[in-house]
Chains A and B, each alone.
Chain A
Amino acid sequence: MSDAAERLAENPFFVLGLAPDSAPREIEREAQKLLGMLELGLADAMTYATPLGPRPRTAERVRAAAAVLRDPRRRLVAELWAAAGASPIAAAGARGDAGPPGDGGG
Chain B
Amino acid sequence: MADRPLYAGFDLGTSNSAAAIFDGERTQVIRNAQGGAVTPSVVRIDKQGRVTVGQRARRLLDQDPENTATEFKRLMGTGKELPFPAAGLTRKPEDLSAEILRALRSDVADQTGVTVERAVISVPALFELPQSAATSEAARLAGFERVELLQEPIASALAAGWRADDDGGGTWLVYDLGGGTFDASLLETRDGLLRVVAHDGDNFLGGRDLDWAITEHLAARLAGGGGLLLERRNPAHVAALRVLRAAAEDAKIELSRSAQAQVTLAQPLVVEGTELEVDLTLTRAEVEALTAPLVERSLDVCLRLLTAGGLAPGRLARVVMVGGPTLMPALRARVSARLEATLAEGLDPMTLVAQGAALYAATAGLDGRAAPSTRGTGKKVWLQYPPVSADLTPHVVGRFVGADPPSRVTLARADGGWQSPPAAIGADGGFVTMVNLVPRTASTFAIGAVDAAGAVIEVDPASFTIVQGLTIADPPLSRTIGVALASDQVQVYFERGAPLPSRRTFVHTTVETVAKGTAESVLRIPIVQGELEHAHLCRLVGTLELRGDRVDRTVPLGSKVELTIELDRAGCLTARAFVAAIDQVFEHVAHLLVPEAAPEALDAALADQRRHLLQMRTEAFRHGLTQVIEKLGTLEAQLAQAERDIDAAHGGDADAAQKARRTLLEIDAALADADLARKWPELVDEARWAGVVAVSTVGAYGTDAERKLLDEVMAALDRAMTAKDPAELGRQLRLMRRLTNAAYFRDPDAWERQFEIVSSDLGSSTDLPRAKQLVDDGRAAIAAGDNARLRRIVNALWELMPVDAQARRKSFDSGVR
Contacts and interface: CB of A to CB of B under 8 A. Distances in A.
A87 B499 contact: no
A105 B741 contact: yes
Interface string A76-106: 0000000000111110011011111111111
A98 B503 contact: no
Interface stretch (B39-47, B125-133, B390-398, B457-465): B390-398
A36 B397 contact: yes
B193 interface: yes
Contacts of A4: 703, 705-706
B315 interface: no
A100 B738 contact: no
A101 B495 CA distance: 15
Nearest to B735: A93
B738 A33 contact: no
Contacts of A99: 738, 742
A36 B395 contact: yes
Interface stretch (B82-90, B587-595, B708-716): B708-716
B397 A60 contact: no
Given A36-B385, A90-B709, A67 B428 contact: no
Contact of B432 (A37, A89, A90): A37
A42 B397 contact: yes
Given A64-B499, A98-B495, A104 B745 contact: yes
Contact of A101 (B396, B491, B709): B491
B502 interface: yes
Given A93-B713, A96-B495, A33 B432 contact: yes
Contact of A3 (B399, B497, B508, B742): B742
Contacts of B742: 1, 3, 99, 104
A89 B399 contact: no
B492 interface: yes
Most buried by B among A24, A29, A36: A36
A40 interface: yes
User: How many of chain B's residues touch chain A, expressed as a range?
Assistant: 35 or more
Most buried by B among A41, A88, A89: A89
B570 interface: no
B473 A37 contact: no
A87 B384 contact: no
A49 B390 CA distance: 29
A72 B741 CA distance: 29
A89 B705 contact: yes
Contacts of A1: 742
B503 to A, nearest CB: 7
Interface string B497-534: 11101110011110000000000000000000000000
A67 B703 contact: no
Interface in B695-740: 703-706, 708-709, 712-713, 731, 735, 738-739
Contacts of A24: 190-191
A93 to B, nearest CB: 5
A90 B491 contact: no
A44 interface: yes
Contact of B391 (A28, A44, A66): A28
Nearest to A42: B430
B426 interface: yes
Interface string B202-230: 00000000000000000000000000000
B382 interface: yes
A99 to B, nearest CB: 6
Contact of A33 (B190, B395, B507, B509): B395
B395 A43 contact: no
Nearest to B509: A102
A70 B473 contact: yes
A36 B466 CA distance: 15
A48 to B, nearest CB: 15
Given A42-B430, A86-B705, A89-B708, 7 more contacts: A1-B742, A40-B398, A64-B498, A96-B497, A98-B493, A101-B485, A105-B744
Interface of B: 190-191, 193, 195, 382, 384-386, 390-391, 393-399, 426-428, 430, 432, 473-474, 476, 485, 491-493, 495, 497-499, 501-503, 506-509, 703-706, 708-709, 712-713, 731, 735, 738-739, 741-742, 744-745, 754, 795, 798, 801, 817
25 contacts: A25-B191, A28-B193, A32-B386, A32-B391, A33-B394, A33-B432, A36-B384, A36-B397, A37-B384, A39-B397, A40-B397, A41-B399, A43-B426, A60-B503, A64-B499, A89-B703, A89-B706, A90-B705, A90-B709, A93-B712, A93-B713, A98-B495, A102-B795, A103-B795, A106-B798
